[in-house]
């Protein structure tokens, strides 16, 4: 009964591989244009016909190409076509030609005057392999197929050279007429990252914003139907369920549909809609229970008489099937489809229409004449799209009855409209009055504060102090400070789209909310009001600060400086101070910091997980629940570890750099796949070792650290490979990377330049820098989804592997090499203040948004090749004073300046990450998406890794 065994291609089989006419001449000369030609009439665009020796024998662009060139051959197909293959050939020129291109890219345009879209295949690669000589034609499959009206061939070369091309396109006419569809992005399924399924539209070529898809086409129209078992991977792409796009609901009875809006090339008469849906009901997946289909000419207002199609639940056969919905010859240019859930999950893989361009006299819809009547119709999952209003369409009709109805409606609405006008006027006057009063109050308050700030002698001493809570960061054991880095976590509201990323499932994500602690000092101070944020950042989460119930440090802020600090872009990325406003000797900070009792507040006791290297690692509010989960960790033979060097040390242990030998059977195969390398006799690892004299608490913390870290699985986070816990000393084996930490790696390189090339210096391209930064953002996005806060994000805590792979670690603070990067408070804590957000320095508040701040400093390090320490012209005390400017909101704070050769949009991202209001900072998901888009097409294999020496540590 399994009628549709999937992986089946329903559109782009043999019937859609016809040559479109470059060779045959079906595509006329005037449809072929180019950005430039070396010689018109000889090697112009009309000569680009494959296997033809016309004129000069091929199209050749005017200039010699390099990797930054943009020259193209453009072919106009005059109507929407499906492109499934392309073919290229060099210039043979009857034996005289020597030019061809080794690589090329494709761009396409779907609508007249629309955006040009860069093609990317299912692995997100842009480049096609082309030719290796002048006469052999090379065929390339276009997967997913392109739906376009115009196509551009863009020759690409790594080294300067002259190129020429001849081309052909293969495909068929796009009869569906769909220009784009817009809908919510799909959801992820799975309680653990190891078995997670991402039912996303991976190949969507439109705009992706806030988990919504706009104005593009993707997997719903790529011709591939999904298999009934959505966990299969028949195409061996490495992504289970790749063909399916799916959404979930917590309660199908809520009747909240998924809304998909289709835009067509012209007004059409529709007869049939086909939706291929999954019905694996044993896994809580079912065909939609009901579909509503609306039609519109304008795309603004929709006809109220929608098509209502109900699907009877099938609890007998689990095969996927195509559901056909008759469309009754309805007319429109836009079709809105609302699909209602029958079970928790709804998966679809293909949508197609049967329609024809209509010749009927169609009029545009009119707006409603009266306010819309309130209904109980449920909102849709796609309600971020423009609100749809229902209105009749008049097709070639002139109805007298319709005119009379409008007249009656107008009369009936007159009295109601008058009353509404009176009410609106009264409310408007009241609102204006309240606004005026509010403005006056704000002015008086600001005036009062200004007078207080200008009369320093009138300030009470306690009001000049800020509680600097260090409990969450203290790495103390028996009164001693250990050298280590901190991961920490605080409770947050669950993000729906990331819930199932959490290891351990939904119950681990559902943490009890933490209350914000009260001011820690009697007669405490008010934090100046933070500016409001744009709606786009309204999803930021509030966090409680770490435990402040025991003690804290108090810093007295130096008095206001009278001259603003300014940033000098020309000063090597280092801030300068006008009139030496910070060069005056600051107060003695030994006197400013003192222990103080804190007013007790009801903050949950967040476990402090002490790492053997001194790091407070992966402390989560749900730690005790997490520790109950069983997760096997491989016991690794101690004799297979060969000591190389000491990386760092803490109070109870050390971190050793070792080589692991004979790893087969102990380290999983996916570890080697993630490293993009084959099995080797030796693997570089870091070994966290607990000293024999460690006390019981340290041993318990070590065991907790192993359990928690072993459940973290992300390609950009170091992972636990094994343990040695059957005899002393106890060891935990974690990843280490071939080229050491990112800070030293950057210092060993210079930016690309003619001088660097001439001297054979080791260089890194700008694309490589952004590529590495995007990996850091990806790893932090993973920690953010688990509600974990790193608290020491910097280049020293990132490791570099083959092909510029980056993994986030926590060894930096334990290394003496980086002792100057930390501000030490005797008996209290070690703080990376130059990377910390102002609220972390002054208020002891650490959240994922303070990590975002640190990420921007890390990005600044990357783009400056870590040549200077952040704020290197400021002392530690002046850095704290700068945090005080943020606190007082006096507009005297100083930023790290624009790095050399840094685009403005990248620096704008940094500045946004340094926003005073943490709620206005972007999430790591947004940062990661932004950097990925800015670096599309970059291939790390193009960099010269062979010139890099392998550091030991």
Other beta carbons within 10 Å of 21: 16
DSSP category for residue 129 = E
Q: Which of 825, 840, 832, 892 is nearest to 861 (CA)?
A: 832
Distance CA 279, CA 274 (A): 15
Residues 581, 564: Cα–Cα separation, whole Å? 8
Q: Which helix (H) or strand (E) holds 734?
A: strand 731-735
Phi, psi for 200 (deg, rounded to 5): -105, 160
- Distance from C-alpha of 197 to C-alpha of 470, rounded to nearest angstrom: 40
Closest to 882 measured CA to CA, from 598, 591, 595, 574: 574
Partner residues linked to 151 by β-bridges: 75, 108
Q: Give the integer Cα–Cα distance in Å for 896 and 566.
A: 10
Q: What is the 3-state secondary structure (H, E, C) of 770-781?
A: HHHHHHHHHHHH
* Rounded CA separation 427/795 (Å): 56
Q: Which of 904, 903, 908 is nearest to 895 (CA)?
A: 908
**Which one of the listed residues 388, 741, 792, 851 is annotated catalytic?**
792
Q: Is residue 670 annotated as a catalytic residue, yes or no? A: no
DSSP for 906-935, please give it. HHHHHHHHT-SSGGGSPPHHHHHHHHHHHT
Torsion of CA 585, 587, 590, 591, to 10 degrees: 150
What would the DSSP string read from start to end of 801-821?
A: -GGG-EEE-S-GGG-GGGGGG
**b vs e for 168-207, b when ≥16 Cβ sit within 10 Å of the residue's Cβ?**
bbbbbebebbbbbbbbbbbbbbebbbeeebbbbbbbbbbe
Q: Where are the beta strands (DSSP E) in 748-864?
A: 750-751, 763-764, 788-789, 798-800, 806-808, 823-825, 829-831
The Cβ of residue 240 has, within 10 Å, a number of other Cβ atoms equal to 16
User: How many CB atoms within 10 Å of residue 418?
Assistant: 10
Closest CA to 492 of 533, 562, 542, 432: 542
Reference 48, options 74, 71, 78; nearest CA is 74
Report the C-alpha gap between 155 and 775 in whole angstroms. Answer: 29
Contact 863, 899 (CB under 8 A): yes
For residues 721 and 83, give the distance between their C-alpha atoms in angstroms, rounded to a whole number.
46
Residues 821, 865, 776, 630: is their CA dihedral positive or negative? negative
CB 73 within 8 Å of CB 169: no
Burial class (CB in 10 A: 0-12, 13-18, 19+), 212: middle
| Helical axes 848-863 vs 766-785, angle rounded to 10° | 170
Q: Which two tokens stand for residue 306?
A: 């929608």
Residue pair 789/848 in contact by the 8 Å Cβ criterion: yes
Nearest-10 Cα torsion for 937, 941, 943, 946: 180
Catalytic residues: 792
């Amino acid at each position: 009964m399994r009628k549709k065994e999937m992986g089946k291609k329903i559109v782009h089989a043999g019937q859609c591989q016809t040559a479109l006419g470059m060779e045959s001449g079906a595509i006329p000369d005037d449809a072929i244009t180019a950005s430039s030609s070396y010689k018109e009439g000889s090697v112009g665009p009309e000569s680009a016909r494959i296997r033809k020796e016309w004129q000069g024998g091929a199209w050749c662009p005017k200039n010699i190409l390099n990797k930054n060139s943009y020259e193209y051959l453009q072919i106009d197909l005059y109507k929407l076509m499906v492109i499934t293959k392309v073919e290229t050939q060099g210039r043979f020129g009857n034996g005289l030609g020597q030019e061809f291109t080794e690589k090329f890219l494709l761009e396409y345009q779907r609508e007249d005057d629309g955006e040009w879209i860069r093609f990317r295949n299912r692995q997100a690669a842009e480049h096609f392999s082309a030719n290796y000589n002048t006469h052999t034609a090379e065929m390339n499959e276009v997967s997913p197929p392109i739906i376009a009206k115009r196509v551009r061939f863009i020759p690409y070369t790594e080294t300067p050279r002259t190129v020429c091309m001849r081309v052909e396109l293969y495909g068929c006419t796009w009869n569906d007429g769909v220009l784009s569809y817009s809908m919510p992005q799909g959801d992820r399924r799975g309680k653990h990252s190891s078995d997670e399924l991402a039912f996303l539209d991976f190949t969507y070529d439109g705009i992706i914003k806030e988990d919504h898809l706009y104005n593009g086409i993707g997997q719903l129209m790529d011709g591939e139907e999904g298999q009934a078992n959505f966990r299969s991977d028949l195409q061996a792409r490495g992504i289970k369920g790749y063909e399916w796009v799916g959404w979930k609901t917590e309660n199908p009875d809520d009747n909240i549909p998924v809304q998909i809006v289709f835009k067509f090339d012209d007004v059409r008469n529709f007869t049939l809609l086909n939706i291929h849906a999954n019905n694996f009901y044993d896994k809580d997946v079912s065909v939609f229970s009901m579909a509503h289909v609306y039609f519109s000419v304008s795309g603004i207002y929709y006809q109220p008489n929608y098509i209502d199609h109900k699907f009877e639940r099938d609890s007998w056969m689990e095969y996927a099937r195509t559901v056909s919905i008759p469309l009754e010859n309805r007319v429109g240019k836009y079709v809105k489809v609302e699909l209602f859930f029958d079970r928790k999950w709804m998966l679809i893989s293909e949508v197609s229409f049967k329609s024809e361009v209509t010749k009927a006299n169609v009029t545009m819809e009119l707006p409603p004449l009266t306010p819309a009547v309130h209904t109980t119709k449920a909102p849709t999952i796609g309600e971020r799209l423009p609100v749809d209003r229902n209105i009749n369409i008049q097709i070639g009709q002139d109805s007298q009855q319709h005119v009379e109805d409008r007249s009656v409606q107008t009369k009936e609405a007159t009295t109601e409209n008058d009353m509404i006008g009176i009410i609106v006027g009264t409310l408007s006057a009241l609102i204006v009055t309240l606004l005026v009063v509010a403005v006056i109050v704000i002015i008086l308050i600001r005036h009062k504060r200004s007078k207080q700030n200008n009369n320093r002698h009138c300030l009470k001493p306690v009001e000049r102090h800020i509680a600097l809570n260090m409990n969450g960061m203290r790495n103390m054991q028996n009164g001693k400070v250990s050298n280590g880095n901190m991961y920490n976590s605080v409770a947050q509201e669950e993000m729906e789209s990331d819930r199932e990323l959490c290891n351990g499932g939904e119950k681990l994500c559902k943490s009890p909310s933490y209350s914000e602690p009260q001011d820690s000092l009697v007669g405490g101070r008010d934090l100046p009001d933070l500016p409001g944020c744009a709606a786009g950042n309204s999803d930021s989460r509030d966090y409680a600060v770490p435990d402040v119930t025991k003690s804290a440090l108090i810093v007295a802020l130096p008095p206001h400086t009278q001259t603003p600090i300014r940033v000098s872009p020309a000063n090597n990325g280092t801030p300068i101070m006008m009139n030496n406003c910070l060069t005056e000797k600051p107060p003695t900070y030994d006197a400013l910091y003192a222990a103080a009792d804190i007013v007790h507040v009801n903050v949950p006791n967040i476990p402090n997980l002490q790492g053997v290297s001194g790091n407070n690692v992966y402390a989560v509010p749900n730690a005790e629940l997490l520790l109950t989960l069983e997760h096997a960790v491989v016991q690794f033979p101690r004799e297979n570890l060969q000591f190389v060097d000491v990386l760092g040390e803490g109070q109870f242990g050390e971190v050793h750099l070792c080589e692991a030998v004979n790893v087969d059977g102990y380290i999983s195969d996916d570890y080697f796949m993630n490293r993009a390398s084959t099995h080797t006799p030796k693997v570089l690892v870091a070994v966290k070792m607990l000293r024999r004299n460690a006390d019981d608490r340290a041993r318990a913390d070590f065991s907790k650290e192993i359990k928690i870290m072993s459940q973290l699985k992300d390609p950009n986070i170091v992972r636990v490979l094994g343990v040695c816990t059957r005899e002393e000393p106890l060891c935990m084996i974690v990843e280490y990377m071939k080229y050491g930490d990112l800070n030293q790696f950057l210092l060993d390189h210079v930016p690309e330049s003619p001088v660097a090339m001439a001297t054979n210096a080791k260089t890194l391209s700008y694309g490589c820098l952004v590529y590495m930064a995007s990996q850091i953002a990806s790893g932090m996005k993973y920690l953010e989804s688990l509600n974990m806060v790193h608290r020491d994000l910097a280049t020293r805590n990132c490791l570099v592997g083959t092909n510029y792979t980056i993994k986030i670690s926590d060894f930096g603070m334990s290394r003496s090499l980086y002792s100057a990067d930390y501000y030490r408070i005797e008996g209290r804590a070690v703080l990376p203040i130059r990377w910390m957000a102002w609220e972390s320095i002054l208020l002891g508040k650490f959240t994922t948004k303070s990590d975002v701040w640190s990420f921007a400093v890390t990005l600044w390090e990357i783009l400056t090749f870590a040549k200077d320490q952040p704020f290197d012209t400021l002392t530690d005390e002046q850095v704290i004073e700068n945090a005080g400017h943020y606190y007082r909101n006096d507009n005297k704070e100083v930023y790290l300046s624009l790095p050399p050769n840094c685009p403005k949009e990248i620096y704008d991202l940094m500045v946004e990450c340094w926003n005073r209001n943490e709620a206005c900072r972007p999430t790591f998901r947004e940062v990661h998406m932004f950097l990925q888009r800015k670096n599309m097409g970059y291939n790390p294999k193009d960099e010269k890794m062979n010139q890099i020496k392998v550091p030991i540590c």
